[in-house]
Amino acid sequence: MKAHSGNVGVFVRIRPTAHFAQGLVECLPDGQTVNIYHRRDSKKTQDSIKGRPSSWSFRLEGVLQDVSQEEVYDRVCHPLVQGAFDGYNGTVMCFGQTGAGKTYTMTGSTKSYKQRGFIPRALQQVFQEIERRTDFSFSVQLSFMEIYNETLLDLLSPVSPLQDSTPPSARGLVVMEEPGRGVVIKGLSLHPVFSEEDALDLMFEADMNRVTGSHALNRNSSRSHCIFSLHIESRSRTLSEAKYVTSKLSLVDLAGSERLGKTGSEGQMLKESTYINKSLSFLEQTILALADRRREHVPFRHTKLTHALKNSLGGNCNTVLVANVYGEAEHLDETLCTMHFARRMKNVKIQPAVNEHMDPALQVKKLQKELVTLKEEM
């Protein structure tokens, strides 16, 4: 697999428009341009658009409209999973307002098998690939984390942090940077998985923990960011081969990007809005800074989200963004915000490289063997 053309790959997925509503988001025949129009048929709209352009055009890597879950997966996620087997890190992020289809894209719907999203499909692809590559041995580990109000929660921790009364700081989930490894989440549980079924069971557990947690704390799951990660290590079965490759595949379902007004919200809601606005606006600032190549000023550490995603944003990673939008007129402003974010993301450069390592024990064995051969020759 090659690097993703040097920039973050950006797709827009348009949620199917109800047949009675007028769709204002249109994909052009090139499959890469999306046009967004004002509806000009009402007095109210006429008044509100004074001084604004009447249409907007955005060109991206792909526009996904009336496209099945399978095709979306094949175009967006499949190449990244393939790349992970060659030692490239990969990240897919879904961004957009609540209800636009982020979770549908990432996890899918339980209504039918056909409606499975990226996570279950990626797990299937991973284990099919492992079965196919008989000359390699693999280890796959999985983690699932949620960021809520600047707190990191392990959705697969044996002691559920969501019911535990220990303060998060004492539970010790911390974003850290380690030389040679980049960003790691200290304290996050990593679960070895040996089959697709194993992995799906853990996904189910994580979902249950998320639901129980959100009920216990009386909060809405669209107010948190979710990061699912697969760590893959592959080694040649040839014993003399000291090299091995590793990769990390992250699938990120971001919190709803709508600007939450502070008016009317209080208590918990106000706190949530403040944190979401903060983390998503820092994500945007991080992206702007990266696109400007002002790397030394990139505010990664300002929020947990940008810090946790540091490797995925303009780093050693094949990164793809899916901008999820509604097609209906009433969502015009939010759709434009999402598209502007997508346009900025397109300018971010990526530098994926194969994560190749040397196994010191095997290397020593190999050298010893060479020494014996040399001695015999002498």
Name which of 95 and 300 has its Cβ closer to ligand ADP.
95
308 marked among binding-site residues: no
Residues in region 310-329 near ligand ADP by CB under 6 A: 324
> Which listed option, Mg ion, ligand ADP, none, makes contact with residue 96 (CB within 5 to 8 Å by class)?
ligand ADP
51 marked among binding-site residues: no
327 marked among binding-site residues: no
> Which listed option, ligand ADP, Mg ion, none, makes contact with residue 350 (CB within 5 to 8 Å by class)?
none
Applying CB under 6 A, which of residues 103, 149, 157, 234 lies at the interface with ligand ADP? 103
Residues in region 247-286 near ligand ADP by CB under 6 A: 256
100 marked among binding-site residues: yes
Applying CB under 6 A, which of residues 49, 74, 82, 99 lies at the interface with ligand ADP? 99
Task: Confirm or reject binding of residue 15 to ligand ADP (CB under 6 A).
Answer: yes
* 309: its two tokens: 């995603």
User: What is each CA distance from 4 to 91, 289, 310, 347, in whole angstroms?
Assistant: 11, 20, 18, 13
Q: Which residues contact 206 (CB under 8 A, 6 or more apart)?
A: 144, 155, 156, 228
Q: By CB under 6 A, which span of 103-111, 174-182, 188-196, 340-348 interacts with ligand ADP? A: 103-111
Which residues contribute to the site for Mg ion (CB under 5 A)?
102-103, 222
Three-state SS for 318? strand
Applying CB under 6 A, which of residues 90, 101, 327, 352 lies at the interface with ligand ADP? 101
Rg (CA), the chain: 23
Applying CB under 6 A, which of residues 83, 96, 120, 213 lies at the interface with ligand ADP? 96
Burial label, 305 (beta-carbon count in 10 A; 0-12, 13-18, 19+): buried
Return the half-sphere exposure (C-beta side, CA atoms, 13 A cut-off) of residue 117.
21
Name which of 43 and 111 has its Cβ closer to ligand ADP.
111
> Which listed option, Mg ion, ligand ADP, none, makes contact with residue 109 (CB within 5 to 8 Å by class)?
ligand ADP
Q: How many residues touch ligand ADP (CB under 6 A)?
A: 14
Applying CB under 6 A, which of residues 58, 104, 127, 341 lies at the interface with ligand ADP? 104
Three-state SS for 231? strand
Give the integer Cα–Cα distance in Å for 18 and 328. Answer: 8
Amino acid identity, position 99 = G
Name which of 19 and 40 has its Cβ closer to ligand ADP.
19
Nearest Cα neighbor of 13 from 278, 219, 322, 364 is 322
255 marked among binding-site residues: no
DSSP string, 153-201: EETT-SS-TTT--S-HHHHT-EEEEETTTEEEEET---EEE-SHHHHHH
Residue 324 CB, nearest distance to ligand ADP (Å)?
A: 5
Decide if 77 contacts 118 (C-beta within 8 A). Answer: yes
Residues in region 116-155 near ligand ADP by CB under 6 A: none
Task: Confirm or reject binding of residue 222 to ligand ADP (CB under 6 A).
Answer: yes
Residue 143 CB, nearest distance to ligand ADP (Å)?
A: 21
Q: What are the residues facing 143 on neighbouring strands?
A: 229
98 marked among binding-site residues: yes
Amino acid identity, position 127 = F
* 310: its two tokens: 């540091």
The residues binding ligand ADP (CB under 6 A) are: 15-16, 96, 98-104, 109, 222, 256, 324
Annotated binding site for ATP: 96-103
